[in-house]
Amino acid sequence: MTEQMELIIFEIISTGGTAKGLAYEALAAAENGDFEEAEKLLKEADEALNQAHKVQTDIIQAEARGENTEVSVLFVHAQDHLMTAIEARNLIEKMIKMYKIIDTKLANLK
């Protein structure tokens, strides 16, 4: 594996991890009723995911051009890491929506 490929792999892992962390911070903000902060953090998570996705797309496009992409366990791990970050972000977005609904219904009971 080339050093450049290792850097690409670690960028995917890093930005995916950043996105997942931001999504969980958004969930914590929503749990505390700070929906504005939750939305801000989800947008930051999206920016990190977009960055990781661009790197991933560059690899796919290079392979489509005929450039050989070495698939290693580390590369597969990076792909798994990114996919779980995307899934966590999407699920957390739904959970935040549920918190908003619950918050609104509780406010109406008062």
Binding-site residue positions = 80
Rounded to the nearest 10 degrees, the angle between the axes of helix 35-64 and helix 73-109 is: 160
Quote the pLDDT of residue 73. Answer: 92
| pLDDT beyond 90 at 83 | yes
Look up 77 and say whether it is catalytic.
yes
Q: How confident is the model at residue 2 (pLDDT cuts 50, 70, 90)?
A: confident
Q: Which of 28, 58, 69, 77 is catalytic?
A: 77
Binding-site residues for Mg(2+), please? 80
- Rounded Cα–Cα distance for residues 26 and 105 (Å): 21
What are the DSSP calls for 52-94, one per residue?
Answer: HHHHHHHHHHHHHTT------HHHHHHHHHHHHHHHHHHHHHH
81 is in which domain, residue-wise? 3-109
CATH code at 16? 1.20.58.80
pLDDT reading at 6 higher than 80:
yes
C-alpha angle with apex 50: 66 to 74, nearest 5 degrees? Answer: 55
- pLDDT computed for residue 23 by the predictor: 98
Q: How many domains does the chain have?
A: 1
Amino acid identity, residue 13? I
Q: Taking residues 84-100, report their average pLDDT.
A: 97
Mean pLDDT over all residues of the chain?
A: 93
pLDDT, position 18:
97
